[in-house]
Structure 1
């Protein structure tokens, strides 16, 4: 494996993000994050109040129409971003921190420690992600934060395997052996040489997992394990409209389109961080 300097990786990321094919995904993510941070800037309508007759089609007054109780769907999607995106960020943070710590420890130490940690990771990988997340959220209780932690637990093994693989590859490189030969300690070599050249793929995976986490949290919300009604959450919004697909398509199609757009945007961002294919 050829080591990639952090500065070179940042320049590659900058060039990727400057490509036309990445501009739209970046705009989508910026808008979604802005919705999550300051929803009041995009809509002045309460997401929980009845503001119009029920089941109105999309119009200039209500861009995404209204739901069965007369609530503005666009306002609920905008305010729901804070639930879905913040939950996804928590999930990715849990998987990134815990999984990377396990993988780096296993890859850097080797031996018995590596064997024990990787067998634990294999057990986690053997359990279907949805089943594992449902088990965790049932133990912790319902709610967006608990659902996020549950989704984060399912991604620990993925981060751990990738981090270990990268650390093992870099650990046997000539520049690492030279650092040890120059008198470097285990911790100093790990911090100054191994980690900077190992974590770029892990960060790319974190961007990819953000989209996956949004899907999983939306799935849990759809099944009723996320935020309780009437709190807006993207999965819950789709669930609320599933009984009206034939007569009020906008209740499921438009929130679903937002979820798909954000997930696809995170996938493109992940490609940019890895240096992806030309856009």
Structure 2
């Protein structure tokens, strides 16, 4: 067959492909419209109104970068940035590390792994708000389980954990630190998808159990761990219920977060100021997404 006769077939295939694309675009159109209405437009409005003085009732009045200047001159905002930094450090090390450790334990299926899975999974179905209320009773000075156990050794012990510095920060941190079921599920999914041939080849080459984890399994879970870090860090940016229902940001703004500042500003009818906080939260999320993608090379394939 002469090469020139292939052109009509290619042209038909190209026309068919363009026709299929039209149908794809048509079916995607409702999703694009909904996404634009409920995400793109509100985000644009948040950015625009963050440069205004707005009480939510009267028309926004442009005031330049005054809201951002007020933010960076605010003690509570600077404290929230410090808290966010330390919570992010704790999240991407202890929180993600603990969830990854549990994933590897479940993957190797030791004796009692089903009980471990159930015990670890069940508490995570409880909402963050419910856990915050539970921890209020656990850390209660008078009737809390923690202080009651400590008083068995030291009868005079008395600490109101959520309201005394520096314990308030760590008390809030413990309301989410060891509840890493999302991390476990993401990493465990990647572990289960590792081709068995890779593990068998490593064993033939003499790799021990720890070497398998360090040189085979852990590197191949790079993308899952990076995804877990993104989820964990963005959750710390948006952390509200655990703080609002325990310390409300106190004592002396020691446990304040960006969402607490945002909600307080809305309550005070300072919508422009609140949207400035929202813009910074949005930008912090983008920076975290970019950094983790670069550090973990998440755009590269594993196999």
Query: Residue 134 of structure 2 corresponds to which residue in structure 1?
Result: 135
Q: Deviations over 1:136-191 (max 9, x none)?
A: 3653432333222322233x111122222222332x52121012123332222222
Give the CA RMSD over aligned residues. 3.0
CA contact (8 A) 1:100 1:163 kept: yes
Which of 252, 255, 260 is matched with 2:274 structurally?
252
Alignment of 1:64-75 (within 5 A): 64=68, 72-75=70-73
**Cα distance in 2 between the residues matched to 1:125 and 1:79:** 29
Q: Which runs of 5+ in 2 are unaligned?
A: 1-61, 140-160, 163-167
Which of 234, 241, 247 is matched with 2:265 structurally?
241
CA contact (8 A) 1:121 1:161 kept: no
Shift of residue 82, structure 1, vs aligned partner: 0.7
CA contact (8 A) 2:226 2:293 kept: no
CA contact (8 A) 1:85 1:214 kept: no
Alignment of 1:189-204 (within 5 A): 189-204=212-227
Alignment CA distance shift 1:92-1:133 (3 Å): farther
Alignment of 1:12-23 (within 5 A): none
Query: Residue 6 of structure 2 corresponds to which residue in structure 1?
Result: none
CA contact (8 A) 2:91 2:229 kept: no
Q: Which runs of 5+ in 1 are unaligned?
A: 1-56, 66-71
Structure number with greater Rg is: 2
- Structure 1 length normalisation: TM-score? 0.62
SS in 2 for 1:183: coil
Q: Deviations over 1:83-116 (max 9, x none)?
A: 2232233234332121111111211x22544322
CA contact (8 A) 2:261 2:277 kept: yes
**Cα distance in 2 between the residues matched to 1:123 and 1:116:** 11
Say whether residues 1:149 and 2:174 are aligned partners: yes
